[in-house]
Chain A
Amino acid sequence: MTPVIELDGLNVRFGQRDILKDLGCSMSGRAIGLLGPNGAGKSTLINTLLGFYRPFAGTARVFGHDIRTETREIRALTGYMPETDCFIASMTAVNFIRMMAELSGLPSEAALERAHEALFYVGLGEARYRRLGTYSLGMKQLAKLAQAIAHGPRLVVLDEPTNGLDPPARQRMIRLIREMRDTNEVSILISSHLLRDVEETCEEVLILKEGRQVHYANLEEERRANRRFLELETVGGDDGFADAVSALGCECALTSAHRMKMVLPESFAIRELYRLAGERNIQIRRLSYRRDSLEDIFLKAMESTNGRP
């Protein structure tokens, strides 16, 4: 299967400033998250993939199309929802989305039909004949999503899709994204600084910091791999206990004096922990399976020095 996005030593430079530095990975998930603090280079990466910025070195491919030479093909396969307010205030939503669908190559009649469908799909059906300038912030976000999907692209790029939305509107946006993802007809690239948005929607995540790739994680795989991830709270002589647990083949790390995290091997039986605790007269106060949350992954990535993993 062709990867959705391949980054191949991608560098982007504005003047003398390196904005993206040597990015390289291959992403094939149905929903890919781009995470990073403000100024990490998320939007620059999106704009480079769409051909708005030229790479200084290296390249990237979207569905196998090179961003240096096949910008038009990439754009034909892509729908883009920008971060900022982007619309023509004097146009009605249906006219605006129809025009955008036509610019993507749809014949006029098909574009009109799909503009109506897209507006109903995002929940703006009743407001589709209203001018975009009269829309609330949440409605504008939905209208931006509608214009990004009206032409039925294979990849939808969403730049901070939940920006400025209140909780119900955010939930609605997240639900729409998950619904689209689950149709398997479209891949989604989401750029966000909100961990929760990415965690709720994405299967893969690329974390950027100061233009560098600091972590790439396949969340689905990590979720599966972290099934045997334990968090333990004890009372007693923890050092010896940790050593004993390690001797049984567990990876063990003390997070505080009485707390530890451990990754259990496949064949490990939990009763072994109780046996060891009993032998050492240690009380197990709390034992919980806990997978690494995206927050853990993100914080670990951010702790890496100089933006390097």
Chain B
Amino acid sequence: MAVHKRSYRAYAGALSPTWSRFTIITRYAYKNLFRSRALTAYFVCCFFYPLGCAIVIYVNHNLSLLTSLNIREVLAIDADFFMRYLAFQSAFAFILTAIVGPGLVSPDLANNALPLYLCRPFSRTEYVLGKMAILGWLLSLITWIPGLVLFLIEASLAGAHWALENLNIAWGIFIGSVIEILVFSLLSLAISAWIKRKIGAGAALLGVFFFGSVLAEVINSVLETKNGYLIDLGKLLTTVEGSLFGHSAPYGISTSSASIALVAACVFCIALLERKVRAYEIVVG
């Protein structure tokens, strides 16, 4: 089908590997996302705190600088330090999710584009994976990747023994971030799939966290229990992440209950996506 010939020609060339196809929509989404200067600026801001942490770690190990400033230690570089890092970056990650997430599936639904994606050798699972990867990579870049870089900086400055003694911190950063990314991505995808308007989807995402938190407090005070926190995604994440850093149940709900509640939330989101991410809806009746 050469331009000058203007006739139909079948394609007989090489094909891309099947496993890599889900990355195509991720790549195109990034091209589109980073056209926005505001988003690019915000994304850059997300690296300020890790940069600050890196400076703190460096200063902490710079004896001459500490002596000249007449201080013994800036901050203890321990599990609490990295947990604070993760909590701070989680807030950035949540805001980034609220900006990017609503626009993931809703435009495809609003434009009826799903049949065009799914009529190709490209499954619904790959579509969802591709959309999740958009947030997955963005959030990874501001959570566990800089977190592990900080851990490696500290390990290189404090020595191998520190790294070996604190391997659970690296594990905590990675697993805590992955759980958070999974919950944020699935939740924003599910909301984006059910609410076609981007603004509405963004508001719903914020609502799930904030109204969930308020509702949890109401349930706790009315029923005089702590189980209300089981619907507060923020507290569930904090509980699970805390346990990874050696903190036990800050809100009175066990780590296992919080984990189960998070798994249930993820399964619910997957069920919502399963229902909505289809080429055509089947009207039964």
In the complex, the chain B residue whose C-beta lies closest to that of A78 is B119
Please tell me if A104 contacts chain B, counting CB pairs below 8 Å. Answer: yes
Given A52-B279, A106-B16, residue A17 in contact with residue B284 (CB < 8 A) = yes
Please tell me if B112 contacts chain A, counting CB pairs below 8 Å. Answer: yes
In the complex, the chain A residue whose C-beta lies closest to that of B119 is A80
Taking CB atoms, residues of chain A closer than 8 Å to B32 are 90-91
Interface residues of B in 114-131 (CB under 8 A from A): 115-123
Query: CB distance B285 to A15 under 8 Å?
Result: yes
Interface residues of A in 152-170 (CB under 8 A from B): 152-154
Query: CB distance A99 to B24 under 8 Å?
Result: yes
Query: CB distance A152 to B12 under 8 Å?
Result: yes
Please tell me if B13 contacts chain A, counting CB pairs below 8 Å. Answer: yes
Interface residues of B in 78-123 (CB under 8 A from A): 107-108, 111-113, 115-123
Query: CB distance A116 to B107 under 8 Å?
Result: no
Task: Determine how close the nearest CB of chain B comes to the CB of A28; give it in whole angstroms.
Answer: 18
Query: CB distance B9 to A95 under 8 Å?
Result: no
Alpha-carbon separation in the docked complex, A147 to B16 (Å): 18
Partner of A100, one of B9, B10, B116, B278: B116
Taking CB atoms, residues of chain A closer than 8 Å to B14 are 107, 110
Taking CB atoms, residues of chain B closer than 8 Å to A14 are 282-285
**How many residue pairs bridge A and B at CB < 8 Å?**
131
Taking CB atoms, residues of chain B closer than 8 Å to A149 are 1, 8
Task: Determine how close the nearest CB of chain B comes to the CB of A303; give it in whole angstroms.
Answer: 30
Query: CB distance A84 to B284 under 8 Å?
Result: no
Alpha-carbon separation in the docked complex, A153 to B111 (Å): 24
Please tell me if A87 contacts chain B, counting CB pairs below 8 Å. Answer: yes
Task: Determine how close the nearest CB of chain A comes to the CB of B48; give it in whole angstroms.
Answer: 31
Please tell me if A89 contacts chain B, counting CB pairs below 8 Å. Answer: yes
- Surface stretch bound by B, among A117-125, A201-209, A276-284: A117-125
Partner of B21, one of A82, A105, A120, A154: A105
Alpha-carbon separation in the docked complex, A72 to B119 (Å): 9
Please tell me if A139 contacts chain B, counting CB pairs below 8 Å. Answer: no
Task: Determine how close the nearest CB of chain A comes to the CB of B47; give it in whole angstroms.
Answer: 28
Please tell me if B155 contacts chain A, counting CB pairs below 8 Å. Answer: no
Partner of A121, one of B1, B21, B117, B279: B1
Please tell me if A76 contacts chain B, counting CB pairs below 8 Å. Answer: yes
Taking CB atoms, residues of chain B closer than 8 Å to A152 are 1, 9-12
Query: CB distance A105 to B121 under 8 Å?
Result: yes
Task: Determine how close the nearest CB of chain B comes to the CB of A187; give it in whole angstroms.
Answer: 11
Query: CB distance A88 to B113 under 8 Å?
Result: yes
Please tell me if B7 contacts chain A, counting CB pairs below 8 Å. Answer: yes
Alpha-carbon separation in the docked complex, A103 to B3 (Å): 22
Taking CB atoms, residues of chain A closer than 8 Å to B283 are 14
Can you list 22 A-B contacts with CB-CB less than 8 angstroms, sorted by A residue number? Answer: A14-B282, A75-B122, A80-B119, A82-B116, A86-B111, A88-B107, A88-B108, A89-B107, A91-B32, A95-B28, A99-B24, A105-B21, A106-B11, A107-B13, A107-B14, A107-B16, A117-B1, A125-B3, A151-B11, A154-B10, A185-B10, A186-B10
Task: Enumerate the 3 nearest inter-chain pairs by beta-carbon distance, A residue then B residue, closest first.
Answer: A152-B11, A15-B284, A80-B119
Question: Chain B: residues with CB nearer than 8 A to chain A?
Answer: 1-3, 6-16, 18, 21, 24-25, 28, 32, 107-108, 111-113, 115-123, 278-280, 282-285
